[in-house]
Amino acid sequence: MDPKLHPAGFESPRPQAVQDFRSRVVFGNLGGQSGFARVASGIASPTPPRIDALAGRQAVPQADDVYTRTAHSAWRHSAARPISEREETAIKQEFSTREIPSQPILGIRASTTMEQVPQLLGELFGEVYEFIQDQGQQPVGMPLTIYHSMEGDGLELECAMPVAAGIAGSGRITAGELPATLAAITTHIGPYDELPGAWSKLTDWMESQGLAPAGAPWEVYVTDPGAEPDPAKWRTDIVFPVSR
């Protein structure tokens, strides 16, 4: 249930999941069910995921560092109810640091507001995946969201997919890479609305280890909810570049 993380911070997708990407919700119309479940409720879910579930339902402390502040703020806007006692005890995490290699990606970077995130993410992931297919290629890893910055309600993020080297972007789809870096990494197993606690625990652990944020963090959406309907088993990897 806990497959190994790729050295670059993502897991290679199952062939069927890749094949089904375009026809499934994350890359299509998210319909009336709000939320990105957020950004990722499923790489390939046959049922529209709740994208707003992840939007963070607990207040988190402010931080001076832009990357820490971004990670904290990404979860501050929410359905305005605190994480329940059940959810709090359900968040079980392990933390580690790892040197990860660089990884080419194709993505779309966008400035938005928290209110616009649900619809935007479905649109961006769909556009990126369709472009990759048009090049006769497939992603080599699961979709991810990079959180570049956040000020107030404004958010700059990038919806991306890992690809083989040498694929050029076009228009607003740009080629880039996840950096080779020392990273603090944690894996969250459970519903997406528990991710705020996972982020807070990771940044608290980083501080306790004397690790300073050194780049924009990202989330990798590993589990296919279409194949695993139980939210308690959904896996999200959080990768945060750090320095000692």
| Domains annotated on the chain, with CATH | 15-243 (3.20.80.10)
Q: For 193-229, how does the pLDDT look when each residue is reduced to its tens digit (9 = 90+)?
A: 787 789 899 999 999 999 999 999 999 989 877 788 8
Q: For 42-51, how does the pLDDT look when each residue is reduced to its tens digit (9 = 90+)?
A: 333 322 233 2
> What SS3 class is residue 87?
helix
Q: For 125-145, how does the pLDDT look when each residue is reduced to its tens digit (9 = 90+)?
A: 899 999 999 999 999 999 999
Q: For 93-122, how does the pLDDT look when each residue is reduced to its tens digit (9 = 90+)?
A: 799 999 999 999 999 999 998 778 767 877
- Name the band, by pLDDT with cuts 50, 70 and 90, for residue 160: very high
Pairing of strands 218-221, 174-178: unpaired
Q: How far apart are CA 169 and CA 199, in angstroms?
A: 31
> What SS3 class is residue 181?
strand
Better-predicted residue by pLDDT, 153 or 172? 172
Q: Give the relative orientation of helices 66-73 and 195-208 as an angle to the nearest 10 degrees.
A: 150
Judge contact between 157 and 147, C-beta under 8 A: yes
